[in-house]
Structure 1
Amino acid sequence: MPYEYIQCFGFCIQTDTAYNPDLASDTKEAIAIRIRALVKAASIIQEDFYSRIQWPGSSQPEWSKTLKILVAPEFFYRPPGNGGAYQFNDEFKYTVQQAFSGFGWQELSDWLIVAGTIISKQQSNIPNQWVGHNTAIIVRGGQRACDLIEKQFVSTRDGMEKYIHGNYEAALGNIDVAQYMQSTQPIVFDVDGIHIGVEICLDHFSGVLRNRGQQAHIHLITACGMPIQWNNVIAPLVFRVDGQYKLQAGLANFAIRNQFGLRWLNYAHVDYNNKFQSHLITKLNRDNKKVTLAAFPIVKL
């Protein structure tokens, strides 16, 4: 494989229902603000942070041989209020387009971005009944394509009690979005020889990857209120980013588990809030808790 190292970055922001404000009067502008926030995070790391890392020993890993992974939490795109959902045929498609175009520049070709999840709804064939979706958007930097993963197990935090949990892949045929995707349910997918598994919150608790007999080099979890479930981890490296501040385990965790035992890695704060547009970062912040951009140490594969 061309990559010899992995480095994980967590875009840590509260996404619980009570902390989901209006970022703009226009729903698409609110989505675009969140996408721009993620793109800015990657660009800050790419252009500034890496040059200031203090490496142990005399040599530092080659940047081009390091796969950078940026993960945002579950519910990163959801209208304010419990039960809020974007239109599947409108804002959902717009979010996917904005995600792959925002990360499409070649300088990010060594990046993988799990850009959080979006809550959306679409009209079913039954009058006055809606189908709900909770979908993770996964982008390979420098490529105009996305992978989309639908959450299989719905929790109360999804706010979809009034919706039918939809057949996501069938619904894709109704909108012109499939052209932007490499696949719809990769579960474990390959990035230049690195096998990466992705789960959304309750799916991790339910062992979706483990029950399919999947294995990977790294296991990624985007969540809102779900600690790492060790019996369901399918890789020696596990990285979780969570949108629930009250969760005891914290907002971002990266651990290595091998024959030598379990080792938790500490993260460094990246100077993000002062470098992003002040009026936008103010809207993103909750209860005076600033967005935390967490940088974990580089790990050799």
Structure 2
Amino acid sequence: MTAYDRIRFIGYPIPTDHQTEFAVGNVGNMMVGTYLGDDDLHTDVAKRVAVLSHAVTTAKALLPSDEEPGSVLNVFVAPEFFWHGTQGPYVFQPDERDPAEVILEAVDAAFPAEDFADWLLVCGTVISTQVADRHALWAEPSIDVRNDTVRALTEQYRKASGAITSLVYDMLRGFVVQCHSYPNVEVRNRSIVLSRVPVDGVRATLQATLLTTEKYYDSNEDFLLYDVTGRRDVITEQMTAYPILDLTGGDDKRDPRDPYAIFRHVYGVDDHADIGVEICLDHADNRLRRSIASPAWPVKPDGLHLHLLPSCGMQLTRDGIAAGVGGWAFNCDGEYAIAGDHPTGTPTAGSPNGVTSIYTDVVSEVSAHYSGHTQLARVTSAAQGGDPRDLASRSASYETLDADIATVHPVTALDDLGSVFAGGPGALHIYGLTSPLPFSRTPASAD
């Protein structure tokens, strides 16, 4: 097996936010709008595969033509919520095929091994929910109570001014949070991962090329509060909860489709790369950092070689990065620009959230409402301990990178793009296009 000594990161921060009329609140925004897509699962998946394939092949055409096969690992990441339907999550019944399996099969066909041998693709995430009887679900009285209450509070919030504004918003947010404790549906939010290098677990032999990891932290903005078109058969934020995830036995994969986040590229005897795919708000809960510091980790916790973060509303945090010395953390987001209301789309060196890094925003050609970003950091001193509040712990420190390692490349809009993505075609952000970055896999002590 080829042992890569260089790596390249390719982010595709296409805005994956809902087609939104307005955001509600200034902190932990909740959203009102409509879900774009096609009512037929296979048609919807085909449209999104076309968008993804167009971006990946555009990126591939930019790579140096004389690059030696097996010398550079190309890591491609798309944002959270790349895959969803007109009801929010893809809603399917027990006798129907899991939408994630449909997508994995389609992605596998779109990127054949002979053409993408040196690629690891994190193709965003898919949201889905299994419901035994759709008609019974929409007839459930509590759904009307939840949705009507939220809509009334939202409308009053929009009318309010002065001190009462925050009071109404707190009522709204508190109601939604409480509803998460009494959900109507369990929604799964899974990353779609295609690795042309066969993947193992840290402790299990899998030899898989298709896998998923899963999110457990439901934010206040993963789903709409209500659909502005009047459609009522949609999954709203106040209806949902994500599955509980037991991490007491570790976060390393035992099966390609299990919910765990950490897997391994094995390149040869004593030569491997440990990789974690952590989805959006789980990063704010320090999921991967806590996992590698836990007693369940099978060896001394030296950190990951690659910490990958697909998101729709998150960036790298100083306390959350779980990469070891020489390891990389890479985030691709489909919701906001790190620079705030004035994104430039130009690669920038800085330390947002205390993470010394390079970040690049997306400037939407459709509306200023739609944004996104990518962010790359390299660890020089690994985090110690899983709990940043512990006085004996310390968070990672980072190398100062040159913004010149990042380049921005346009993506043309496919004719049918607007039926599935509201914010335009996004852009490609490539870190290490002509001069790939070092890929060190030497285990590094957390001391």
TM-score, length of structure 2 as denominator length? 0.55
Matched-pair contact (CA < 8 Å) for 2:10–2:76: yes
Structure 1 residue 30: Cα displacement: 1.9
Amino acid at match of 1:201: C
CA-CA distance at 1:198 after TM superposition: 1.0
Q: Give 1:189 deviation, angstroms.
A: 1.1
Alpha-carbon distance in structure 2 between the residues aligned to 1:198 and 1:264: 25
Match of 2:240 among 163, 170, 175: 163
| Correspondence for 1:200 among 267, 272, 279 | 279
Rounded Cα–Cα distance in structure 2 between residues aligned with 1:204 and 1:142: 25
Counterpart in 2 of 1:178? none
1:294, CA displacement in angstroms? 1.3
Deviation at 1:124, TM superposition (A): 6.5
Deviates more, 1:249-258 or 1:208-217: 249-258
Aligned partner letter, 1:134? N
Matched residue of 1:32: which SS? Answer: helix
Match of 1:134 in 2: 189
* Runs (5+) with no aligned partner, structure 2: 21-33, 138-183, 199-207, 224-236, 247-254, 267-271, 294-302, 341-358, 362-372, 382-397, 440-447
For residues 1-301 of structure 1, the aligned pairs below 5 Å read 2-18=3-19, 22-24=36-38, 26-46=40-60, 48-51=61-64, 62-80=68-86, 84-88=88-92, 89-90=96-97, 91-123=99-131, 128=137, 129-141=184-196, 145-159=209-223, 160-166=237-243, 182-192=256-266, 193-213=272-292, 215-235=303-323, 236-247=327-338, 248=340, 250=361, 251-258=373-380, 261-263=399-401, 265=403, 266-273=405-412, 278-281=414-417, 283=419, 286-287=422-423, 289-297=424-432, 298-301=436-439
Query: Shift in Å at residue 17 of structure 1?
Result: 2.1
Shift in alpha-carbon separation, 1:153–1:285, aligned structure 2, 3 A: closer
Cα shift at 1:6: 0.9
- 8 Å CA contact 1:224–1:243 kept in 2: the answer is yes
**Change in CA separation of 1:105 and 1:152 when aligned onto 2, cut-off 3 Å:** same
Stretch of structure 1 that moved more, 36-45 or 14-23: 14-23
- Corresponding residue for 1:175? none
Indicate the structure (1 or 2) with the bigger Cα radius of gyration: 2
Structure 1 residue 246, shift from structure 2 partner: 4.4
Instruction: Give 1:63 deviation, angstroms.
Output: 4.5
Give me the CA root mean square deviation.
3.0
Confirm or deny: 8 A CA contact 1:68 1:111 kept in the other structure: yes
Could you tell me how far apart the structure 2 residues matched to 1:264 and 1:13 are? 24
Q: Distance in 1 between matches of 2:8 and 2:105?
A: 26
Q: % of aligned pairs identical?
A: 23
For residues 421 and 406 of structure 2, what CA distance do their matches in structure 1 show? 20
The answer to whether the 8 A contact 1:87-1:122 is kept is yes
Q: Give the length in aligned residue pairs.
A: 275
Per-residue Cα deviation, 1:247-277 (whole angstroms, up to 9, x for no partner): 436311112231673326452123431xx6x
CA contact (8 A) 1:17 1:157 kept: no
Consecutive unaligned residues of structure 1, counting only runs of 5 or more, are 53-59, 170-180
What CA deviation, in whole Å up to 9, does each residue of 1:23-57 have, x standing for no partner?
A: 445332222221222223222333x21137xxxxx
Letter in 1 for 2:264: D
Identify, as 1 or 2, the structure richer in helix. 1
- After superposition, the Cα gap between the structure-2 partners of 1:234 and 1:106, relative to the gap in structure 1 and judged at 3 Å, is same
Is the contact between residue 329 and residue 377 of structure 2 (CA under 8 Å) also seen in structure 1?
yes
On the 8 A contact 1:220/1:238 being kept in 2, the answer is yes
Q: Is the 8 A contact 2:79 2:332 kept in 1?
A: yes
TM-score, normalized by length of structure 1? 0.79
Contact 1:256–1:264 (Cα < 8 Å) also in 2: no
User: What letter corresponds to residue 49 of structure 1 in structure 2?
Assistant: L
